[in-house]
Amino acid sequence: MYRVTLRLVAALMIAPALAASAAAMSPPAAARPGDFMSVTDVQKFMYEYRQKPSLARVPAAVKALSRFGTLKDPEGSGIYVGFIAGVIGTNPRKAEDIINKTLPLTPQDQWVLVRAIAYSGHPDWKGLLQKFIERMPARAVMAHEYLSGAQPTLDEMALDDPDKSFFQKIGGYFKKPPPGKPTIVHNPELLDVLWGYYFATGSYKPILRIIAMLPWSKDRDSVEKLTLGSTAKYTLANYAAREPDLLDMLKRSAEQQPKNVEPVLREVIHAAETVNVAGLHREQTAAVEKLKREGPEYKKELSTWGQVGVGAIAVGCVAAAALGQIEVGIPCVIGGSVSSGALSLWEKQKD
């Protein structure tokens, strides 16, 4: 994980140059009214979709992302998967037509549509996937894993692993734990998927799942949880500060939240109402730094640090630095993956 995280941080540093190079190499095409000429155009369309739904343009938006090479990185494409899933799920009678017009996609990009269908919540998503498997042969194995239940849908995916005892936590440093079912905490790109679903639908469901991550912003045992929870907290406050409808949604849901969620959600609401998102960010960055410096709380129960080792703390150094990049507008790295979609899309509302 440490090496993967380092590679992703390096990739983030060179991403703008690669994007510029790819744009320069693209063959010129005559612009037509309504064409998407850049990723920014697509993101702006996505952000405005709730206010001005244009279902007919969704297939063109997906094809544009494929043409720009944006969908080749699964860890950076969660926002698009979620958006497509939301469109399919909230338009069940038109879903087949949307998918039909979106295809064909390149073999490299077919995964996006497979996952979007599985994550859509469409009442007959399995029937849709079976119908279109033949047109997405490069991802037939992936499609069959969703159909068989080997891979969970978005609604089926738990937030976290079952609670571990103190000795189970320590044991994890000495031997590799058995593989468990996929969870959101181990697939942090799903935070972007949830935001994408919200941009397509404006519905409570994805926001409630993001709210459920907020207690992780207080976690003092796991850098992975702390960083993901901090990012959930930051993105909620950022959007709520600029979107009265979302802020009202957060306020209405606050009283129904569990005791470990409500106080953190009220911090988000207060930061949004006072437009003090920067202050919230500083607090969360300090928390990550402290966890990096002092280590997990449960380790303090040990007589010496040497009994566990400090290998995991190196991950904390990278995660803390990555979280700090939010302040200068660079996409953050959370839990070993890039979560740039939700943060970059926020910028589009200012254009």
Does 19 reside within a domain? Answer: no
- Co-location of 125 and 257 in the same domain: no
Asked if residue 273 and residue 193 are part of one domain, the reply reads no
Q: What is the pLDDT of residue 174?
A: 41
Give Cβ neighbours of residue 336 (< 8 Å, ≥ 6 apart).
1, 4, 5, 8, 188, 224
Spatial separation of the C-alpha atoms in residues 297 and 222, rounded to whole Å: 9
Domain extent for 247:
212-342
Q: Please check whether residue 27 lies inside any domain of the structure.
A: no
Q: Has residue 197 been placed in a domain?
A: yes
Q: Does residue 62 lie in a domain region?
A: yes
Q: Is residue 200 part of a domain?
A: yes
The token pair at 26 is 């693209």
Residues 250 and 274 occupy one common structural domain: yes
86, 192 Cβ separation under 8 angstroms: no
In a domain, 13, yes or no: no
Predicted local distance difference test score (pLDDT) of residue 31:
46
Secondary structure element (H or E) that encloses residue 337, with its range: strand 337-339
Residue 190 and residue 247 in one domain: no
Q: Within this chain, do residues 149 and 117 fall inside the same structural domain, yes or no? A: yes
Cβ distance 43 to 192 under 8 Å?
no
Do 154 and 93 sit in the same domain of this protein?
yes
Instruction: Give dist(CA 245, CA 231) in Å, integer.
Output: 21
- Asked if the structure places residue 170 within a domain, the reply is no
Q: Are 194 and 254 in the same domain?
A: no
Residues forming beta bridges with residue 125, ordered by sequence position: none
| Residue 60 is assigned to a structural domain of this protein | yes
Is 144 found in the same domain as 220? no
Q: 156 and 77 in one domain? A: yes
- As a whole number of Å, the CA-based R_g of the chain is 21
What is the pLDDT tens value at each position of the chain, 351 positions in all?
333 333 333 333 333 443 444 444 444 344 454 689 999 999 999 999 999 899 999 999 999 999 999 999 888 899 999 999 999 999 999 999 999 999 999 999 999 999 999 999 999 999 999 999 999 999 999 999 999 999 999 999 988 866 554 444 444 444 444 456 788 888 888 999 999 999 999 999 999 999 999 999 988 777 788 888 988 999 999 999 999 999 999 999 999 999 999 999 999 999 999 998 888 878 777 776 777 666 665 444 433 333 333 333 233 322 333 333 333 232 333 333 334 455 555 445 545
The number of distinct structural domains making up the chain is 2
